[in-house]
Amino acid sequence: MYPPIHQCHNGHTLCSTCKTRVHNRCPTCRQELGDIRCLALEKVAESLELPCKFTSLGCPEIFPYYSKLKHEALCNFSPYNCPYAGSECAAVGDIPFLVAHLRDDHKVDMHTGCTFNHRYVKPNHQEVENATWMLTVFHCFGQYFCLHFEAFQLGMAPVYMAFLHFMGDEIEARNSSYSLEVEGNGRKLIWEGTPRSIRDGHRKVRDSHDGLIIQRNMALFFSGGDRKELKLQVTGRIWKEQQNTEGGACIPNLCS
């Protein structure tokens, strides 16, 4: 129970959340609750220290009773949601669990390496208003990254978007950078950025436009031919940002 903690005239206690659910009547004796506070119980709660509920997942922290919930909402050891965007998947777990889940349950493409070259094809681009292509997972620098590619409406304009998700927390994600590139008809479009943590769901990243966005007309230009069929080649690489201990600057550590 979290303050304010209430009690009825007979001394039965309950928290403020439950008070609204029982329509101001004690669930034990059915007496009207009123606004009597149980200050003694609130004082006891203030003196308690409890471990984070994610202790079994590795969190070593212990917090005062009233700080525990705030920490748990942001705890780095809390389970991750499945990053698969093709369906509303309810799976949660740590990174090794989700990697196995993506491989075995969603049958995603799994690759080892820090460079990639993918081709996204759709015979009739007019059919693609809101579509998601198969997720691709990369194992690079001992960590996992997810490459998303999808089509959606941005205002009145149909667009394609590619971005990289980091399978870990935001602080770790900042240690990596990536680039995405499309090329065709003698033109080249390049995006460079920092991968977003899978703590930020795929929809949140998409709606923030944090990735390579290509309008349909430009995507068809890069596809070549008669501009009726989408044939978009997306290449990219991932690198690690290393701190220069002398000057404090980041030096890219490229993977061959």
The HSE-up count of residue 87 (CA atoms within 13 Å, CB side) is 8
Under a CB-based contact definition with an 8 Å cutoff, are residues 62 and 49 in contact?
yes
Mean pLDDT of 91-118: 93
Is residue 123 classed as helix, strand or coil in its secondary structure?
Answer: coil
Q: Within 13 A of 234's CA, how many CA atoms are on the CB side?
A: 26
Asked whether the CA dihedral 242, 245, 247, 248 is positive or negative, the reply is positive
pLDDT at 245 over 70: no
Domains of the chain: which residue ranges? 5-73, 80-240
The size of the chain, in residues, is 256
Averaged over 4-17, what is the pLDDT? 88
Q: How far apart are CA 168 and CA 198, in angstroms?
A: 7
d(CA 240, CA 177): 6
CATH topology assigned to domain 80-240:
2.60.210
Q: What is the pLDDT of residues 121-177, one digit of tens each?
A: 776 656 556 677 878 999 999 999 999 988 888 887 888 899 999 999 898 999 999
Between residues 209 and 74, the one the model is more confident about: 209
Q: What is the per-residue pLDDT across 190-240, written as a single tens digit (0 to 9) for each?
A: 999 999 999 998 889 999 999 999 888 888 888 776 666 778 889 999 999
Q: Could you give the CA distance from residue 189 to residue 234 in angstroms, rounded to a whole number?
A: 10
Residue 109 forms beta bridges with which residues? 136
Look-up of token digits 């596809």: 223
Distance CA 239, CA 250 (A): 11
Q: What is the mean pLDDT of residues 108-120?
A: 90
What's the whole-model pTM score? Answer: 0.73
Q: What is the reported pLDDT for 127?
A: 56
